[in-house]
Structure 1
Amino acid sequence: MSVLLIEAFYGGSHKQLMDLLQEELGDDCVLCTLPAKKWHWKARTAALYFMQTVPASTNYRSLFASSVLNLAELAALRPDLGKLKKVLYFHENQLAYPVQKCQERDFQYGYNQILSCLVADVVVFNSAFNMESFLTSIGKFMKLIPDHRPKDLEERIRPKCQVLYFPVRFPDVSRFMPEHKLARLGKVIGVKRHGDAYQSESLPGQQQGRALMRTSSTEQESGVCEAQPDLDTTQHEGLPTPLTAPLRPSEAEAPEGTNPCQEEDKQHLTFNLSSVLSGMDYQQRPLHIAWPHRWLEAVYCGCYPLCPKALVYPEIFPAEYLYSTPEQLFKRLQNFCKRPDLVRRHLYKGETAGFAWAALGGKFRSLLAAEPREDL
């Protein structure tokens, strides 16, 4: 157990990353967490809690924590942990995070993150936008201090910083994809299956179909036009659709011992039947618009991204998928509604393989490999 994983807000993407690291590192790590509620209190008090609950060990070599934790406080309260290689991961940053109403006490959250960066050995951001928006805001942020302001903090922190994208385990969704999109999907799957000795990308305890439904239409951010024949009838779990309505609950999932090929044939037959009954050609059926919280999964599953030309989106998506004004968004959507085949036949021109765990896993392992420091 040479790696200590600490997550003060164990939920959402924070939980997803820690679970992935724990599973990949196996017995070589220890995970300590707090539940994902009352975020402000976790940011204020988590270090004191972990001071008492993190087990002492001479085997620790590195510490990996998200920026919710005040790493400076923990390192001071636990000198044994202060000697480790300390890696701080930013899912988001408080210097650029929008607030509805600015209050004096909110200064503490950004201040905590700056202190954590000063103490950390390596500071990792999930995007270049996240990194630059944080670093370039430090000077302006510190001007909120009435007097005796510290200087040159950006210059001290920047050399420690690097970008390491959030790693995703992409499920194999090839059985849901139209033929013209399978070749591109195969490239990503091929990288995963050969890179990093990773064998299975299915989500634990979930069938591929259910995993796809959850990743293709989750929470809300901006518009994505749905593009797949089987996805546009499964955008809302639990609601009857042309694809699922003809199936009884016992038929929706294959029982143990059922031949998977037979089950797959049954699903294709049901889809073809529903298409005939609808009286519509697949290419002309209405599109579905989703607001997924996880874009790089949505695009992998075949969605057409339509994103604002702002924030992190220009870093991730080619220019043709971006809009600058609400009027441009309206015109694009209007055109797609008139010509849904433009979306369904489209092949995404960006890449998703670089966001897979197979491509990033080695970098995370290298990041966490370290010897304890003796100079503290």
Structure 2
Amino acid sequence: MRILLLSAYDAVSHQYWRKGLVNALPEHDWTVLSLPARYFSWRIRGNSLSWAFGERERLQQPYDLVIATSMVDLTSLRGFVPSLAQTPCVVYFHENQFAYPASGHEHQSVEPLILNLYNALCADRVLFNSGYNRDTLLEGADRLLRKLPDQVPPGLVEQIRARSEVLHVPLPEQVFLPAAPVEGPLEIVWNHRWEFDKGPELLLAAVERLQTDHVDFRLHVVGQQFRRLPPVFDQLKQRLESGGQLGCWGHIESTEAYRRLLQRSDVVLSTALHDFQGIAVLEAVAAGCRPVVPDRLAYRELFAAEYRYAEQQETSALARMLGELSASKHCGEPIRTPDVEHLGWPALKASWGRVIETLTQGGAPSL
């Protein structure tokens, strides 16, 4: 089958998904178009213009299926290239703008919300990487529609719900590695984007509490960095250096070195305000880390309660959980980790294949 795959805001997590999809299903003839993950406001509105008049020849080829990320301005693109309007289409939501936390610095606009809503209504099938992502989009769309002044047709949210399905971004086979723990303090890895929505303030507060409680730990702060970093990271580094608990710091260029760090770490920590699936955490768990994650977001459906710290008095709950794990390690007790093999490509490939096959045969996948 000939499949057109569109990634309009090709962030690292979107690349991870689309490359995995193409590699896992090589029997199909893939055409991939992507645009850089920058200039967010322009990109989400202008991608249809960029592609329709810059990639017209490729877009007008005969395709059996279109798979587009939720950042694609699908309604405009189908208007600019009418042949695409006749091709079955799947929209994949890695995230939704209804549940994205506000930093207080962004320009307030309803445009990203409308784009999510229109894409979900335009698609033949709407896929989400978690139930949390699906539910927050449906709830947010309902709130938005109730605020619109007039001429809002009934049943729009129900239409989206009926075409929706949760299908996780699968983990590649190479991330499933044996744990290789080391002796000494509790080895903790925090492996997220260095941005406000990943909760660095909570991370700093937890470190301060662990130091006050004299917990034996080493913290590795790694992940994707940008030119402008929240100032809290400077404070965090100073704290860890002064306490002698600083491990790896900054982005690790070598994939092999990063994988080795995950294998020797005891715990992968999330302090996120925003995670629709938490691939970084899942990869660490696949390499033997125990997740310590907040009791919110997608984590409630991914991990049992024993791996989630409470939202009430969150700093204390997080520090207490880490303190208990440190004590267990010092006593020689094994640190339990959950199995995430059901989220790997070998387990999920058939589900992705089913969606593609059923839509290209003119039906709707069964749930």
TM-score, normalised via structure 2 length = 0.69
Q: Provide the residue aligned with 2:81 in structure 1.
A: 78
Question: 1:299-331: per-residue Cα shift (whole Å, max 9, x none)?
Answer: 111111111111111100011111113222222
| 1:317 pairs with 2:306 | no
- The structure showing larger relative contact order (alpha-carbon pairs under 8 Å, at least 6 residues apart) is 1
* Contact kept? 2:7, 2:69, Cα under 8 Å: yes
- C-alpha contact 2:6 2:34 (8 A) present in aligned 1: yes
SS in 2 for 1:149: coil
Aligned-residue offset at 1:172: 5.9
Please tell me whether the aligned partners of residues 124 and 161 of structure 1 are also in contact (alpha carbons under 8 angstroms): yes
Partner residue of 1:334 out of 323, 327, 344: 323
Distance 1:362 1:216, change over 3 A: farther
Aligned mates of 2:23, 2:44 — CA distance in 1:
26
State the match for 2:356 in structure 1: 368
- Which residue of structure 2 aligns with residue 39 of structure 1? 40
Asked if structure 2 preserves the Cα contact closer than 8 Å seen for 1:306 and 1:321, the reply is yes
Distance 1:342 1:63 in 2: 55
8 Å contact from structure 2 (residues 90, 123) kept in 1: yes
The structural deviation recorded for 1:142 is: 1.8
Q: Does 1:8 align with 2:8?
A: yes
Matches within 5 A, 1:1-376: 2-26=2-26, 28-52=29-53, 53-54=55-56, 55-101=58-104, 106-171=109-174, 174=177, 177=180, 217-219=191-193, 221=198, 290-291=269-270, 294-324=280-310, 325=312, 326=314, 327-341=316-330, 345-348=334-337, 350-369=338-357, 370-371=359-360
In structure 1, C-alpha distance between the alignment counterparts of 2:332 and 2:121, rounded to whole Å: 47
3-state SS of 1:137 partner: helix
Judged with a 3 Å threshold, the aligned counterparts in structure 2 of structure 1 residues 307 and 216 are, in CA distance, closer, same or farther, namely closer
Q: Deviations over 1:64-103 (max 9, x none)?
A: 0110012111112211111111000000001111223498
Letter in 2 for 1:32: L
Identical-residue share of aligned pairs (%): 26
Change beyond 3 A, Cα 1:93–1:217: closer
C-alpha spacing 1:138/1:28, structure 2 compared with 1 (3 Å): same
The whole-number CA distance in structure 1 between the counterparts of 2:329 and 2:65 is: 51
Runs (5+) with no aligned partner, structure 1: 180-214, 226-231, 238-252, 254-266, 268-281
What is the Cα deviation at residue 341 of structure 1?
4.0
Deviations 1:11-30 (A, max 9, x none): 21101111122233446110
Counterpart amino acid of residue 50 in structure 2: Y
3-state SS in 1 of match to 2:150: coil
Per-residue Cα deviation, 1:185-221 (whole angstroms, up to 9, x for no partner): xxxxxxxxxxxxxxxxxxxxxxxxxxxxxx9845464
Letter in 1 for 2:151: H
Unaligned runs of 5+ in 2: 183-188, 208-217, 224-255, 272-277, 363-367
SS in 1 for 2:148: coil
- Structure 1 pair 236–58 and aligned structure 2 pair: CA distance change class (3 A): closer
Give the number of aligned pairs.
295
In 2, Cα distance between the equivalents of 1:150 and 1:98? 29
Deviations along 1:212-251, whole A, 9 cap, x unmatched?
Answer: xxx98454647799xxxxxx798769xxxxxxxxxxxxxx
8 Å contact kept, 2:267–2:290: no
SS in 1 for 2:127: strand
SS of residue in 2 equivalent to 1:306: strand
If the length of structure 1 is used for normalisation, what is the TM-score?
0.67
Q: Say which SS state the counterpart of residue 155 (structure 1) adopts.
A: helix
